[in-house]
Structure 1
Amino acid sequence: MSKRNKLNRRRNKILERKAGNKPGSLVIPPEAFAPRFFLMSFNEEMFEELELANYQELLQKVKERPDARHWIDIRGYADQTVLEMAMQDFGLHALQMEDVINDYQRPKVEEFGGNRLFIITRMLRWSPEFRTLDDVQLSLFTGPNYVLTLQSDYGDCLNPLRERIRAGKGVIRQRPAMYIAYAILDVVLDYYFPVMADIGIYIEELEQQVLREPNKSTLSQILDLKSELVKLRRITWPARDLMNELLRMDETTIPENLKVYFRDAYDHAVQLIDLVDSHRDMASSLVELYMSTVSNRMNEIMKVLTIISSIFIPLSFIVGLYGMNFAHEDPETGQVFPHSMPELYQPHSYPILLGLMAILILLQLYFFYKKGWFRSF
């Protein structure tokens, strides 16, 4: 089974699971991973990074350092008990956790519990092997001194941010928890640009393939690419709306000195939308280029067939004319028919006729050459 079919089956399972369920019910996907617990605690003077064995140890470490900022990272949804304890300890709503588990949500932001935020974004990766777009949901909750992230997979695109925190580069250890939320969103958006670059390279490869040797497989690849770009557009436009909503929030939620960073992220989202629209136009033009190239090749084939037919039509007429074999004289009475075919009885009629036919072919080829019919071959 192809990767695309597996992805479609997974989406259908999620839709079936949601139908008829009570709002806020936590139904664990059968393909969910066992949860792993990661914690980064830091401030201007200290830094600590841990992978903990269970949720209780994670919560205890967070409570031990109320003066630090914490990035709590839970990867995997297979344990419903962990999710229910996280809802209780961090004051999360059941509907929010339902959106976290049913991880095909569009990027969005919700304000809850005063100045806290619930953000959903999507991490992207381009698969060069399958020529498909892989997207994984990242759910994010902000608190007074922590950021809680939840994701279904163990791998993500946030390692550059982790390296910056470990190295203490920049001002990230001095900023409040909301800045960590911005940094996470910024890294996610930054990874969209390499995806766009890879798609652009793939479009150029398809263009060369269309010009060189178009076939049904090429057309299928172009249509699959258009489908991936539609999915990409469904992600980038809500990502821009997410940033716009963050910029319009009250200063008590997002201080003015942090909004300048979110404005920069908003500009990145706008650039991504422009790139997506540009790639979609290029993919649509590839379909037109494919149809035009196939039509031109068909015209070339018809041109060759037309030349061949034009050459052999007069030859077929001559051969058909002399193939009627009307008798020159009556075999019984010996009467000569003056309007029959006397050429049939000429001693050199056969080579003479072949020569005339050859001359006729050469004259036709010369005529076609003067008309320029051979220049495009």
Structure 2
Amino acid sequence: MIDPAMIVNCTVYKKGKKLRDISLDDISDVLEEEGTFVWLGLLEPNVELMNKIKEEFCLHELAVEDAYAAHQRPKIEEYGDTLFVVLHTAQLAGGEVLFGETHILTGPRFVVTVRHGASRSYAKVREHCEMLPERLMRGPSFVLYSIMDFVVDNYRPIMDDLETKFSQYEEQLFNPGALSGKAYLQELYQLKRQLIRLRSAATPLLDVCTQLLRFHEGLITKEGKAYFRDIYDHVVRFIDTGDRLREMVESAVQINLAQVTIHQNEIVQTLAGWGAILAIPTMIFSLYGMNFAHMPGLSWQWSFPLVLGGIVTACTLLWRRLRKAGWL
């Protein structure tokens, strides 16, 4: 059974202007009209709905199968005159980065978007396209660009948020009371993990843009290629920013580990220093604790004060020496 909530929008356009919303059953009839194209938006469709889409748009069964299945890697594939593009989306929710997927099936007369997981609505993209009829006249290629540009632009706020978090961690780096070593490393590891996932989502878009620029001239016009070059540049800058931030995170991890090691060495030095000081009375007291009948000074009345004074003096001199050396 097809749930109406799975169909976000189904609209027909002509000469850059919206004509009307249509039902799924009307798609094949509308495509027979000259100069029209259909933009269909789906949200986590079931098998029955995807089979209906396959029938109406005459799609390749492998393309439909891939569009239905989530957990696809970002890619672009060609099935006759139809392109299948997979994009990984990302958005912030409660301070966490959530990832989803958008699968795009586009041909000369149609665009079908299939959203899986955490993905923003493309209502704003549709509104933006409808406000630019002179560009929307290019058809599905402009819609494809608008969706890709929207996905890439949503990466930027996430990167800004991660940079802000790292700035806060960087301020705490030389403040031992801010976070314990273990907690600090856990925070940095989570930050690095999110950067790696963002890079995995963005990097394949370089190959997608390259293929759209070099091939598929039947779908991507010469004028439209300039827009995909713009996306390519945005992705390159985003990846460079992420790589620099990841290097800084790795450096912060190394600095934190070095601080932990230095702190441990300081503790060992302190314990060793006090151990050396305590060794003096321990040695003397153990010597006089052997209970021999004849030992020097046992019968002299000033033996105990003299020995005690010598211990205090020796301990004090050693303490001052260690203090001066920075061990205490």
Shorter chain as denominator, the TM-score bin is 0.7 to 0.9
Q: What is the match of residue 308 of structure 2?
A: 354
Report the 3-state secondary structure (helix = DSSP H, G, I; strand = E; otherwise coil) of the residue aligned with 2:224: helix
Alignment of 1:324-335 (within 5 A): 324-328=290-294
Equivalent positions of 1:272-291 (< 5 A) are 272-291=238-257
For 1:24, the equivalent position in structure 2 comes to none
Give the partner amino acid of 1:357. Answer: I
Map Cα deviations across residues 341-363 of structure 1 (whole Å, 9 max, x no partner).
22x34445444433333322321
Counterparts of 1:64-83 in structure 2, within 5 Å, are 69-78=37-46, 80-83=47-50
Q: Does 1:298 align with 2:264?
A: yes
Q: Residue 266 of structure 2 contacts residue 327 of structure 2 at CA under 8 Å; is this kept in 1?
A: no
Alignment partner of 2:60 out of 79, 84, 93:
93
Deviations 1:197-254 (A, max 9, x none): 2233333444455543443344344444444443333322211111111110143331
Return the match for 1:189 from 129, 140, 152: 152
- Unpaired segments ≥5 residues, structure 1: 1-31, 329-339
In structure 1, how many angstroms separate the alpha carbons of the residues matched to 2:159 and 2:171? Answer: 19
Q: Check 1:88–1:69 CA distance in 2 against 1; reply closer, same or farther (3 A cut).
A: closer
Q: What pairs up with 1:1-377 in 2 under 5 angstroms?
A: 35-41=6-12, 46-47=17-18, 55-56=24-25, 59=27, 69-78=37-46, 80-114=47-81, 116-127=82-93, 129=95, 131=96, 133-153=97-117, 155-156=119-120, 158-165=122-129, 168=131, 171-208=134-171, 211=174, 212=176, 213-328=179-294, 340-342=295-297, 344-373=298-327
Q: Please tell me whether the aligned partners of residues 214 and 294 of structure 1 are also in contact (alpha carbons under 8 angstroms).
A: no
Q: Give how far 1:100 is off.
A: 1.2
> Comparing 146-155 with 309-318, which one deviates more in the overlay?
146-155
Question: For the Cα contact (< 8 Å) 1:315–1:357, is it kept in 2?
Answer: yes
Checking the alignment, whether the CA contact within 8 Å between 1:214 and 1:290 is kept in structure 2 is: no
Cα deviation, 1:45-64, whole Å, max 9, x if unaligned, reads 854786x8x7447x389569
Alignment deviations for residues 6-57 of structure 1 (CA, whole Å, 9 cap, x no partner)? xxxxxxxxxxxxxxxxxxxxxxxxxx9962331355567854786x8x7447
Residues 44 and 114 in structure 2, CA contact (< 8 A), matched pair in contact too: yes
Relative distance call for 1:44 and 1:347 in structure 2 (3 A) is farther
SS where residue 256 of structure 1 aligns? coil
Matching residue's letter, 2:246: R
Structure 2 distance, partners of 1:260, 1:152, is: 29
Change (3 A) 1:373 1:49: farther
1:363 alignment partner AA: L
Query: Structure 2 regions of 5+ residues with no counterpart?
Result: none
Per-residue CA distance 1:171-206 (angstroms, 9 max, x = gap): 544442211110110110111122222233333444
How far apart are residue 169 of structure 1 and its match?
Answer: 5.5
> How far apart are residue 126 of structure 1 and its match?
4.1
Is the contact between residue 247 and residue 262 of structure 1 (CA under 8 Å) also seen in structure 2? yes
Contact 1:172 1:180 (C-alpha < 8 Å) held by counterparts: no
User: How far is the alpha carbon of 1:161 from its aligned partner?
Assistant: 2.0
Distance 1:161 1:34 in 2: 19
Equivalent pairs: percent with the same residue? Answer: 28
User: Could you report, residue by residue, the CA deviation over 1:115-138 in whole angstroms, capped at 9, with x for unpaired residues?
Assistant: x42211111124554x5x422111
Find the aligned partners of 2:304 and 2:167 in 1 and give their Cα distance: 59
Deviates more, 1:90-99 or 1:312-321: 312-321
Which residue of structure 2 aligns with residue 331 of structure 1? Answer: none
Task: Give the conservation status (yes or no) of the 8 Å contact 1:229–1:276.
Answer: yes
Deviation of 1:257 after TM superposition, in Å, equals: 0.6
SS in 2 for 1:103: coil
How many pairs are equivalent?
Answer: 324
Answer yes or no: is the 8 Å Cα contact 1:120–1:140 preserved in 2: yes
- Letter in structure 2 aligned against 1:186: D
Q: Is contact 1:107-1:120 (8 Å) kept?
A: yes
Q: How many Å separate the matches in 2 of 1:171 and 1:275?
A: 34
TM-score by length of 1: 0.74
